[in-house]
Amino acid sequence: MRNAAVTGHPIGHSKSPLIHGYWLKQHGIEGSYIAQDVPPETAKASTALWLSTALSAAT
């Protein structure tokens, strides 16, 4: 399974999960693409958490 995320603050407007989710499904790739709201003051801690998970990519 491949999991990825787009990050930012604010991020609720992002169409990336919809677009990438579509292509994952079209190509039969098991995984997810999520939007993760990350305020600047939590960016360092969030990055450390992602590095310790099965997240394939984050932008």
Summarize pLDDT for 14-33 with one digit per residue, the tens. 999 999 999 999 999 999 99
Instruction: Domains for the chain: give ranges and CATH numbers.
Output: 2-58 (3.40.50.10860)
Query: Tokens 């990519």, residue?
Result: 57
| Residues 6 or more apart in contact with residue 7 via CB below 8 angstroms | 35, 36, 37, 38, 46, 58, 59
Q: Which pLDDT band holds residue 50 (cuts at 50, 70, 90)?
A: confident
What's the pTM value of the predicted model, to 2 decimals? Answer: 0.76
What is d(CA 9, CA 22) in angstroms, rounded to the nearest whole number?
23
